[in-house]
Amino acid sequence: MILINLLPHREAARKKQKEQFFTQLGLSALLGGIVCGAVFTWYQGQISSQQGRNSFLQAEITKLENEIKDIKSLQAEIASLRARQTAVEDLQGDRNLPVHMLDELVKQLPDGIYLRTMKQENQSVLLTGTAQSQERVSELLRNLANNSPWLTRPELVEIVSSSVSISNREQRRVSNFTIRATLTRPTAAASGAGGTATVAPAAVPGKV
C-alpha cells in the first residue's frame, strides 16, 4: 500500500526551525545578559575599590598638608627666635664696643699723636687729631692695619700741615689728620646700632 502524506510538512519544518532559532536566540541573549551583568558587576567593584583608595589617599594628603603647615609654622617660629637671639647677641656685643675701641686706640696710638674727636656711625669710625709729624700718622695707619683686631682697614682722609704756638716766641709745625677705620664686631652682623662720641682734646693722648 502506498502512503501519501497530505500534511504541510514543509511549513511544519520551517516552524520547527523558527522555534529552534528563537530558542537559541533567547538563550544567546540570556547568556549575553549574564556575561554583561557579570562584567558590569566586576567593573563596579573595581570602581568602588578605586574610589575607596582615592578617598584614603585624599585623607592622607589632607593630613600631610596640615602637618606641612605645622612644620612651616614651626620653621617661622624658629627663624623668629634665631633673629631675636642674633639681635640680643648684637646688642650685648655692641654694648662693649666703645670700651674696646677706646682701649684699642690707647694701645695703637704712637708717641706724638693727640686725638681731638672720634665719631662712630654703624661700623665706620672717623678719627681726627694732631700729630707731631706725618711719619707719626703713617705709623698710626700701620698699627691699625697690622696690629688692631678691632679697628681695621684704616684710610687716610686728609692731612694738613699747620703751626701751633708753644710759647710767645716759639711755634711748632704739626699735622692735622683725619682717618677713617672700620670697627669689627666680635660677632658677625650685617648692621648694628651706631653712636656718635666726641672726645675732648688730649682725652686719648699718645706719649710725648
DSSP string, 89-105: HHHHHHHTHHHHHHHHH
Residue 57 has a pLDDT of 92
The residue among 119, 178, 188, 120 whose CA lies nearest residue 154 is 178
CA angle 20, 25, 31 (to 5 degrees): 125
pLDDT in tens, 118-155: 888 878 889 899 888 888 889 988 888 888 888 888 88
Q: Is the pTM of this model over 0.85?
A: no
Residue 119 has a pLDDT of 87
Residue 61 has a pLDDT of 92
Residue 15 has a pLDDT of 79
Residue 2 has a pLDDT of 64
Asked if residue 149 lies in contact with residue 101, where contact means CB atoms within 8 angstroms, the answer is no
Mark the ranges of the chain whose per-residue pLDDT is less than 70: 1-9, 93-96, 167-168, 185-208
CB contact set of 199 (below 8 Å; sequence gap of 6+): 115, 116, 117, 118
Using the 8-state DSSP alphabet, how is residue 196 labeled?
-
Residue 69 has a pLDDT of 87
CATH topology of domain 96-205: Alpha-Beta Plaits (3.30.70)
Q: Which three cell numbers stand for residue 71?
A: 612644620
Give the whole-angstrom CA distance, residue 152 versus residue 64. 52
